[in-house]
Amino acid sequence: MFPAELTIRNVRVRPALVLAPMAGLTDTAFRHVIRGLGGCGLIMTEFTSSEGLARNHARTLHYLFFSEDERPITAQLFGADPAVMARAAGVVQDLGFDVVDINLGCPAKKVVKCGGSGLLRDLPLLRQILRAVRAAVTIPLTVKIRAGWDEKSIVASEVARMAEAEGVEAIAVHPRTRVQGLEGHADWSIIREVKQAVRIPVIGNGDVRQPEDAVRMVEETGCDAVMIGRAAATNPWIFRQIEQHLAIGRYDEPSEADRYQLLSGYFRMLVDSQMPDAIGKMKQFACWFTHGVRHGALLRREVHSARATAEVLERVDTFFAGVGAPALELRAQAGGDA
């Protein structure tokens, strides 16, 4: 049976569905979109550099802006220096976050050099980091891990037992290796093994693309909650759809009008908030979201060729007004520039 809620010490997550941290995507504007659509019990920030945060770097602090209506909310940190991670976790607590999470899963090269999934190759250092962060904060501490560095070093259960022993209160498991990146198959049996290895809550993550997948993940692994990342970027309604599926066995699909309202509203939120590099965020989100839009490739091309936020908004309005897609198709067939 799908869990009704997840409890991480004193933090109640209801429903037991979590928005995964995604660099460049899970900013406060997108988190408000997810909260507004409903169905998500816990949201997470973009992963944030502990080095920048410990230095009170203004740009880094900007990543951790949140409003009260986003609660419960987790701030995720990455880094490889125990003392620096501890100071950064203290900043997170002082900012008022409900939970602090340590990123042990990011496969990006620039992150692996200073934390992320790179720590799965140095468990003694990882233990020092967990111990230092746990001693530095009183709010709940969680971690998000991968299966291991590669298929010859699957350490998820070992890391989970270590984390539990050091006071970590929940663990999210993405059962791909660092070498896999986002390719290949997520081996859910690893989530089941971690669940059997520890007493703390285990959150399953990976290859949940539609509501039925979330239900199947719980059935196959026994996990205590489901975390969704990429599918939420292409279909932000997925959390609500899971709730509908659990309640009545079916779920609503967003209409073209729904998609327009969400995309336009999100882009306008970015502009109104005067977010740094708003146009960059527009283009990044368009890469994901437009995969669910009819003629999405053409819309992506329009957004990516825009040079200003106002131009992006105008092109989105035109596209969804019903004249954009046909016009773009004709121009594409003629080899013209979008």
Q: What is the DSSP letter of 280?
A: H
Backbone region of residue 56 per phi and psi (left: phi > 0; alpha: psi in -120 to 50; beta: other values)? left
| Entry field: residues in the chain | 338
Q: Which residues pair with 177 in a beta bridge?
A: 148
CA distances (Å), origin 256, targets 189, 244, 294, 310: 37, 20, 8, 22
**Which tokens hold the place of 320?**
């969804």
Residue 106 annotated to the active site: yes
- 8 A C-beta contact, residue 195 and residue 221: yes
Catalytic residue of the set 40, 106, 114, 223: 106
CA distances (Å), origin 148, targets 159, 220, 227: 9, 20, 18
Angle between helices 324-334 and 309-320 (to 10 degrees): 100
Catalogue the active-site residues: 106
